[in-house]
Amino acid sequence: MSKFWGSRFEKGTSALADKFSFSIAYDHKLALYDVMGSIAHATMLGQCGIISQAESKKIATGLAKIGKKIEQGTFKFDFKEEDIHSNIQTELKKLIGTSADKLHTARSRNDLIVLDMKLYCLYELTMIVNKIAQVQKAIVQFADKNIDVIIPAYTHLQSAQVVLLAHQLLAYVEMLERDKSRLFDALSRMDTMPLGSCALSGTSLPIKREMVAEQLGFPKVTANSIDSVSDRDFIIEALSALAILGMHFSRIAEDMIIWSTQEFNFVNIDWSLCTGSSIMPHKKNPDIMELVRGETATLYANLNKLLILTKALPLTYNRDLQLDKPPLFESVEKVGDMLGLFTALFNTLKVNKDVIKAKINNESFFTVDIMDYLIKKGVSYREAHDIVGKMVKECLDKGNSIKNFSKSDLKKYSLKFEIDVKKLLDPQVSVKNKKSFGSTNPDLVKKQINKWKKSLNVRI
């Protein structure tokens, strides 16, 4: 076991203190990023003449070997080492000898850990953006396949109006698009290279930070060494974007849970995403959707954890910051799983068209269409609302329906009514009559589907 410090210590740390403070159990996830950053750093040290070219090469070659092993999964992490940095450094020393001791020149773990975390976020969040696009594709394909389906839509979970199923599905696609843009936004802000800030003040050694940035693909270096080692905004922004994404998924999951109940029976969730009951043989439970709803709590908690961890923390680095890792890693993993599950959900979801058709055979879905009819004939909004309200009341009180009203029945409510108003009691007519941009009008929805197909590269 080797530590980066200790020469001035009168005795070693206690076993309990080690257990409490070691981060290798989780920061081993950063191994490849640590190696990548170190190769870039050693190369720069050589080019700037801070270490010899020969030593720089030796270090880089040794690190590359370690990197290979990590990639292949054959690298043996030593859980008696404090953290990922000392793990790699110790292994490097075993491989190349004392030249390894020069790797840590002009850097500190304080700037190195920020570099590792930024590289991790840049990679993982980009993967998440790609996976969101996969879910969007699956939704758009599912919408396209069911373009003829009209469903009841709800406010207050009470039947409201009819819409195309595709229209509701494209709402999900819009939500996910905003999630992608939030992640892009976070990615662009975190894309600055912190290494060379050292402990907190920079260094007197003639390093070239831009050289490291360029090798690692960062467009620029951080401008303030104090901020560089203190900043965890990028993790908070990532967790915030993931928490909002989770919120979206929990709402979609809730729609699926409701739609798949015996009472609604609009959709069948594939068996592969459901479980049974140990006591009630008839049950098919939407557990995966319920767990998505539940794990959203984890995503919120992880965001909160980082906000609490950093609140009133004095600049610059404090060891508390080590605890930023488990919440971030957990949220990234949970969201990755959720994205895979939602792609599978929409690739396999079945729509019960007949059930839905029977549900929308209900005049109350068309009251706003009747109001619009009157408004187009010059009746005020208020008056139209009253007229249609009275019609609904009479139907409910007397067990009647508007479709049975005669011409004179209609005239009792408003002289503006002609018999053609009854044509409005039809789901197809209702959606077609919508004209405003962003509405459920089938032509407009088809246009939106085509727009998404193009931008998401969906095979047509």
Quote the least distance from Cβ 17 to ligand ARG, whole Å. Answer: 13
Catalytic (active site) residue 23: no
Reduce the secondary structure of 33-45 to three states and give it as a string. HHHHHHHHHHHHH
**CA 4 remoteness from chain centre:** 37
CB atoms within 10 A of CB 43: 19
User: ∠128-129-130 over CA atoms, to 5°?
Assistant: 90
Whichever of 201 and 457 has its CB closer to ligand ARG, that residue is 201
Whichever of 58 and 232 has its CB closer to ligand ARG, that residue is 232
Long-range CB contacts (within 8 A, 24+) of 51-59 = 51/102, 51/105, 55/99, 55/102, 58/96, 58/99, 59/92, 59/96, 59/99, 59/100, 59/102, 59/103
Whichever of 91 and 295 has its CB closer to ligand ARG, that residue is 91
Quote the least distance from Cβ 347 to ligand ARG, whole Å. Answer: 39
Quote the least distance from Cβ 319 to ligand ARG, whole Å. Answer: 6
Quote the least distance from Cβ 109 to ligand ARG, whole Å. Answer: 4
3-class secondary structure, 190: helix
286: its two tokens: 């939407």
User: ∠266-271-272 over CA atoms, to 5°?
Assistant: 125
Quote the least distance from Cβ 85 to ligand ARG, whole Å. Answer: 7
Residues 6+ apart with CB under 8 A from 184: 129
Distances (CA, A) of 294 to 3, 175, 300: 41, 19, 10
Whichever of 239 and 356 has its CB closer to ligand ARG, that residue is 239
Residues that bind ligand ARG (CB under 6 A): 23, 27, 83, 109-110, 113, 317, 319, 321-322
- Give the phi and the psi of residue 163 in degrees, each rounded to 5: -145, 165
Quote the least distance from Cβ 287 to ligand ARG, whole Å. Answer: 35
- Give the phi and the psi of residue 269 in degrees, each rounded to 5: -80, 140
Whichever of 108 and 240 has its CB closer to ligand ARG, that residue is 108
Q: Which one of 7, 14, 156, 278 is the catalytic residue? A: 156
Catalytic (active site) residue 277: yes
Spatial distance between the Cα atoms of 331 and 216, rounded to a whole number of angstroms: 25
Whichever of 121 and 338 has its CB closer to ligand ARG, that residue is 121
Q: Which one of 181, 277, 380, 455 is the catalytic residue? A: 277
Q: Which residues are catalytic?
A: 156, 277
